[in-house]
Amino acid sequence: MNIELIPAIDIIDGKCVRLTKGDYDQKKVYNENPVEVAQHFESLGFKRLHVVDLDGAKSKHIVNDDVLRAITAATSLVVDFGGGIKTEEDIEKAFDAGAAMVTVGSIAVTNPQLFLNWIEQYGAEKLILGADVRNGKISINGWKEDSSEDLLPFLKQYTDKGVRNVLCTEISKDGTLQGPAIDLYQQIMKAYPDMHLIASGGVSCNDDIRALETADIPAVVFGKAFYEGKIKVEELF
């Protein structure tokens, strides 16, 4: 497959978990040791990893940077890290702990100037704009709040400044195994054809990944489908 394949590890209390639709009350623990999970992904042939600090997203500062450090020390995976990156101290912590890239969402809404400063300081290739969408609006702070920002204009202000990497999660799909929001991703790609768009939310099987590839979506994140045994990895490579 040409589509970039990015497995995800979501962390609460140092454990590998998945939520449904971003609801912290609908939490399922899949593994007590995220490092083992990351090593398993690497052994299967994956090169990339998306790590989300769900404690961090909720508490508005990085919490699980020690888990990130352990994963990057134990594997050669190219890891992007998100969740709770709100300050200069947070972003430095993430890079110090071995993240190749950071995913920043809420700050791009609440403090655009800081996000633009980071693009200038670290380079656009090191930052992934996290655009989490619910009912067409950008959602922030661990999906606890919806902003007034509409998706496409929100993306434009940053693509105009050189941002290429965008991770877009359709929250109503996330963790549901009901198939990804392909129409939404096609709209984004039509508006911004040069974007390295990472689709996230709803992937349930290999066919969903193939459908995203057929729709020319550059990359996909998946989690629950893998943990529930619904992805046939040998057919992906």
* Catalytic residue list: 10, 132
Q: List Cβ<8 Å contacts ≥24 apart for 16-20.
A: 17/54, 18/175, 18/223, 18/224, 18/227, 19/54, 19/174, 19/175, 20/174, 20/175, 20/176
The answer to whether the CB of 205 falls within 8 A of the CB of 226 is no
Instruction: For residue 86, give the nearest of 67, 105, 66 by alpha carbon.
Output: 105
154: closest CA among 172, 185, 133? 133
Q: HSE on the CB side for 132, CA within 13 Å?
A: 25
Cα separation values, 80 from 49, 149, 153, 175, 192, Å = 6, 24, 25, 20, 22
Specify whether the CB–CB gap between 180 and 201 falls below 8 A. Answer: yes
